[in-house]
Amino acid sequence: MNPTTGECTSIDCPTGYLPKDGRCEDVDECSTPNRCSIYEECINSPGSYRCQEKGSFCSFGYKIDKETGFCNDIDECAIPSLNNCGPMMCINLPGSYKCRCSAGYEFNEATMKCEDVNECKKFAGHMCSLHATCENTIGSFKCFCKPGFTLAADGRNCDGKFVFILEL
């Protein structure tokens, strides 16, 4: 009702709101019994609601926003004690993070650390000459030439004398 004229006026409210005293007010959908399953609790939010697992407010890597009731990502990169990146660049991801590792290392999502790549295994037959054996080292690899060959300047190929016997 219009307080000045006494006329009734209609108010159109968006979904999740009801008219009250000339304005739109949020509906508490959670006041409806059994809104969520028995293992969930109802969280009211402006114009809506959501159901979430009881006792576990947010998934790992998220924290509850007490004003909205929603889970927000934790920026593990902003808090050094929450990541294992050390001096390497930390990249925040939804609910997690990863480190930009130095050459010769890869980020292991299980351990959340940069770990040595065994180039000899991962790129078998492609790191050293066919006349060499590959040996993994921490963060790199070395090629060792077979007898009769010497390591070339590039550290990957082997130089040697080839003798071809041509039979007629």
Q: What averages of pLDDT result for each successive group of 10 residues across the chain (168 residues)?
A: 69 87 89 86 84 74 81 91 90 94 90 89 88 91 90 89 56
Res 55: pLDDT: 66
**pTM to 2 decimal places:** 0.51
71, 59 in Cβ contact below 8 A? yes
How many whole angstroms separate alpha carbon 92 and alpha carbon 73? 9
Terminal Cα-to-Cα distance of the chain (whole angstroms): 114
- Tokens 């190929």, residue located: 157
> What are the structural domains of the chain?
17-73 (2.10.25), 80-116 (2.10.25), 120-160 (2.10.25.10)
Spell out where 17-75 has E strands: 17-20, 23-26, 40-45, 48-53, 62-64, 71-73
Res 162: pLDDT: 55
Please, which residues bridge with residue 50 across strands?
43
How many whole angstroms separate alpha carbon 106 and alpha carbon 24? 54
CA 107 to chain centre: 11
